[in-house]
Each structure stands twice: as C-alpha cells, then as structure tokens.
Amino acid sequence: MKNTIQKIFALLLVGALAVSVIACGGTDDAAEDTTTVATTTKAPAVTKDPNASSNQKPVSDYEVESVKKKTVAVGTPIEDVIAELPTELEVTIPGDASGESESLYSTDFASADTFATEWTTCDDDGVLSLDGGKFATTGKSNKVKAYVTDPEWAKTDSEEYANYAVKAVIRGTAEEAPTNNFGIIFRASNITASGPDSYDGMYVGIGDNNGQLCIGKAYNGKWTSIQNVDFDYVANQDYTLEVIVFNESFVVLLDGEVMYEGAVDPLMINGTAGLRTFEQLFECSEFLVRSLGADDFNYFEEGYVEVKSLPVTWTCSDYDPNKTGTYGFFGTITEGLPEGKQAQVKVTVTVREAS
C-alpha cells in the first residue's frame, strides 16, 4: 500500500512539472500572445493667457452702465466694431448732497381761475369740484386725473431726470374704507381721460383692500401693481402723502414716516405731477412740488448719488479681425470724474465666421 501511494505521488509530480514547462516556455507551435494593455494619456491643462483682453477685468472706481455683448463677422475692422459701441455711458457717482429745498409749485386750490390756468383735468364724468378751496370729487369715477400743466421742473421731452418731491394733503371722504384708491401721480406724461390707466407714469395712492398704500405704474394704458403697504386707515382724516423721486429711485412717506423705497420705471425719467382717483371720494387741501435738498437724501438707502452721462473711449489690446475668438473691448471714461478717479467697463466681442 505504501508503494502504491508513492507511485501516485510521483505521477502527480511529473504532471505538475509538465504543466509548468508549457506555461513558462511553451513550444515552437504555441500561439504568440498579442494582448496589449491600454494606457491613458491625460490632456495637458489649458492655461488662460492673463494678458488676453478676454481675460482682463475693468478697473473702475464707480458703477458704469453695462453694454451688451457683440458678435461680428471675421474681417470686421476694429473701427467698425467701435462704431457699434455707445459714445457715452452713465456713471453713478456717490457724493455729498448740498443745498436747500426750494418750492417749485404750490396751491391751496382757493382760486378756480388759477387752477384752470395751471392745471389740466381729465373728468369726463363731471365729478370734480373746487368748492371751499379744496380739490374734491363729488361722485365716483375711474377716469379722474388732474395734473400741473407742462411745468419747467417736469423736464418733459428731454433726456434729463426730473427730480423733485411732491406732497399732497388728502383724505377719503366716504364713511366706508376705500375699496380702491386715490393719490399722487408723478413722472407722468401722455395723460388723457380715455381710461383709468391712460397715462405713462408712477402712482402712489391710499386705498385697496381696506386701507393700504397702493404703489404702481401705468404705461400705454396698462396698469402694473408694484407693492401694497398696510397701514391703519381712518376715513375723513387728513393724510400727508409725499413722494421724493431722485434719478432711478423714489421714496414714499406717509405723515413723515418712510413707508417704501423702490425703483422708478426706466421709461419714466421725467414728467409732471398731479392727482388721480379710481372710483373713490376724496379731497386734497394742499399740493406742493419742491426741489430736493440735502436732507432728502437721508431717506434713500444709498444716500446721494449723481448719475452722469459721460463720453467713453474704446480700446482692445489684441483684437485680430481675421482670427475667430472672444475679445474684451474696454470703455474708459476720464472726463467729468472727480480728480484721481477712473471709470471703466468691459464688453465682450466675439468674432465668428459668417454664416
């Protein structure tokens, strides 16, 4: 039995050696192993050229009006690109306000003749009255508007901002809370009697939803609500409603308290001021428009800022009209700025093959 086990072990050993020889060396007839191991070569990282105009940033002490990106065809000369860019841009310059507020217009509605000379009314329903030295509505109408006729301070038909404060002492004369509103229009133009929103301008009124400040705008006959601000309305009580409008912003005060600050519609840079009602009985006993003084800017979150439209010069350090790609054109403003200050803006210009 022992000899048999030894023979079996010997045979297994011989078999193992034979397999080892085949695995390590093989024979001349063995097929050649052509398997290859795939290797991955990582692409080199793309390094941005810091000197390329497209990678540079504008250097500016002030906020400058932005300019939309441009796309031009291959071969467009730099002069033609610059010709498509604006020659002036608005620069916002913070500063310290100075000066005293001065009256621009005021009335107590004591004279019907004076009112007829100074105001234009939209009252197809015949509900306006000046009895007792008050501008009042004797019936409900949704078309009533009245405004100071073409004053110089409105700067209508110009490209200048009409900056002023308008204040009215008004009260709702119905016993119930107003379901709609009555108040002030400002920066208003194209005012007609054709409908409740037939004017282009901003509006702040008292009313809506049982006592709120209603803030909105009308343009091309369409009304847009901006904000409603709650307060405790009381019928037959005088309220002093004031709007201070400066450049692109306005602040609303009720009895001297700031109730709202927001942006003026960019289409409404100027225009007159007046009164409006939407189916509400109300009266106005005082109406005043004045210039802005230093103290008025304390009501604005950003304080006093001056927006100037200044000439701009355009350059691009590496523009190649025959090479597709993206370029940075820099508009630099030097005139009209405080000494030692600069203003700059960048616009991206893409050169592409013509389609």
pLDDT digits (tens, 9 = 90+) for 286-304: 999 999 999 999 999 888 8
Is 168:252 a contact under the CB 8 Å cutoff?
no
Q: Which is it for strands 145-148 and 305-311: parallel, antiparallel or unpaired?
A: unpaired
> Taking residues 161-172, what's their average pLDDT?
97
Side chain identity at 340, as an amino acid letter? G
Percent of the chain with pLDDT over 70: 86
Flag whether pLDDT at 19 surpasses 50. Answer: no
pTM assigned to the model: 0.69
pLDDT score recorded for residue 22:
38
Neighbouring C-alpha atoms within 13 Å toward the C-beta of 134: 15
Is 78:315 a contact under the CB 8 Å cutoff?
no
- Give the whole-angstrom CA distance, residue 218 versus residue 181: 14
Where do we find the tokens 């200050």? 341
Mean pLDDT across the chain: 88
pLDDT score recorded for residue 133:
87
- 131 to each of 135, 137, 145, 257, 260, how far by Cα in Å? 8, 10, 18, 30, 33
Ramachandran assignment for 14, one of left (phi > 0), alpha (psi -120 to 50 degrees), beta (any other)? alpha
Confidence tier at 137 by pLDDT (50, 70, 90): very high
pLDDT digits (tens, 9 = 90+) for 231-242: 999 999 999 999
- 129 to each of 111, 118, 134, how far by Cα in Å? 12, 16, 8
Confidence tier at 42 by pLDDT (50, 70, 90): low
Confidence tier at 97 by pLDDT (50, 70, 90): confident
> Taking residues 164-172, what's their average pLDDT?
97
